[in-house]
Amino acid sequence: MDISIIVPIYNETENLDEFYLRTIKILESINLSFEIIFVNDGSADNTLQRLFFIAQNDNRVKIIDLSRNFGKEIALTAGLDFSSGDAAVVIDADLQEPPELIKELIKKWNEGYDVVYAIRKKRGKEPVIKTILAYLFYRIMKKISQTDIPIDTGDYRLMSRQAVNALIQIREHHRFMKGLFSCVGFKQTGIYYEREQRHKGKSNINLLKLWNLAVDGITSFSFAPLQFSSFAGLIIAIISVLYAVYIIIKTMLYGNPVPGYPSLIVAITFLGGIQLLSLGIIGEYIARTYMESKKRPLYFIKHLTGFNAEDLKPTFKNIDR
């Protein structure tokens, strides 16, 4: 197999047919063998039934039906685990990322790049607050991460088989795929594109999910929050010592008047807030360490469609097909 197309999918019935038709048109024009692996991430609509219909009429389409909703990052991992192509392309089914760009990704791959990522020149019609937060997040991550994560870059990219094999060795549970794609290294480059508006339906991603993803990204690829806690504690300690010296000198020169109640309350609440913030940051890192120590499987599969038993790992050979 030359190319594997990995499509994590959740409640995308309205977009599925258009995505399939546009993607097939492009893939058939490049004269390479290919497979399209749809990973159904516990969809609650008719997505799975529609996928079965497509797979019945096209043996190049394969389906991984997860036992429940594990999240996009895990669904991506499942698709990569089962891919067999010399290169794998990761793309969403909402058509915000044009399938036509696959040709450009393959062209760069043929030039010798192992990872070719798509950089957004324009984000399409999205809420202003989401656009601003995304802009800030990518640039903050660029500053604080030990890994060089490209700015304004989503999951849409092509990876060579060597890069995919390296990536699937990483089995951490709190997965920030944008960071993991960069973490594996190899020869990487980017191409620019204009992100389109969602074809139909509403996005399943809300601000809370984006916040959780941002926390996963920061805690997975940076110690900056812990360093911030230490720095804040050091600064407050220095200020406290200087203030104590000031109080001693003032008392020696002018006596010991009763301190003001408002300033005392402000100081207590400020220090309490810093302590709780620091504990929360430490707790995030400890919680992730605890989850990793359990070594649970990343996902469970309910059903496989289109895969040959002889090509599967022993763990997956008995899954319903």
Say what the pTM is.
Answer: 0.73
Q: Under DSSP, is residue 266 helix (H, G, I), strand (E, B) or coil? A: helix
Q: Are 115 and 177 in contact (CB under 8 A)?
A: no
Query: What is the rounded distance in angstroms from the CA atom of residue 281 to the CA atom of residue 226?
Result: 7
Query: What is the rounded distance in angstroms from the CA atom of residue 54 to the CA atom of residue 20?
Result: 9
Q: Are 46 and 12 in contact (CB under 8 A)?
A: no
* The two structure tokens encoding residue 95: 């058509």
Q: Quote the pLDDT of residue 6.
A: 92
What distances in angstroms separate CA 129 from CA 58, 91, 134, 136, 198, one per listed residue? 41, 24, 9, 11, 17
Superfamily of domain 3-222+297-316: Spore Coat Polysaccharide Biosynthesis Protein SpsA; Chain A (3.90.550.10)
> What share of residues in the chain are helix, strand, coil (percent, to 5)?
50, 15, 30
Q: Under DSSP, is residue 192 helix (H, G, I), strand (E, B) or coil? A: strand
Helix (H) or strand (E) holding 36: strand 34-40
Query: What is the rounded distance in angstroms from the CA atom of residue 203 to the CA atom of residue 121?
Result: 20
CA 89 to chain centroid, in Å, comes to: 15
Q: Are 118 and 157 in contact (CB under 8 A)?
A: yes
pLDDT (tens place) for every residue of the chain, 321 residues total = 688 999 999 888 888 888 888 899 888 888 888 899 999 988 888 888 888 888 888 888 999 988 888 888 888 988 998 888 889 999 888 888 888 888 889 988 888 888 898 888 776 666 677 777 777 777 777 777 777 777 777 788 899 998 899 888 888 887 878 778 887 888 888 888 877 766 665 666 666 666 766 777 677 766 777 777 777 777 777 777 777 677 667 666 666 665 555 566 666 767 777 777 777 777 777 877 777 777 878 888 888 888 876 666 655 655 655
* The two structure tokens encoding residue 260: 């003001």
Q: Are 152 and 120 in contact (CB under 8 A)?
A: yes
Q: Quote the pLDDT of residue 203.
A: 63
Q: Quote the pLDDT of residue 319.
A: 65
Helix (H) or strand (E) holding 154: strand 153-160
- Pick from 119, 103, 105, 126: which is nearest to 22 by CA? 103
* The two structure tokens encoding residue 204: 């399943």
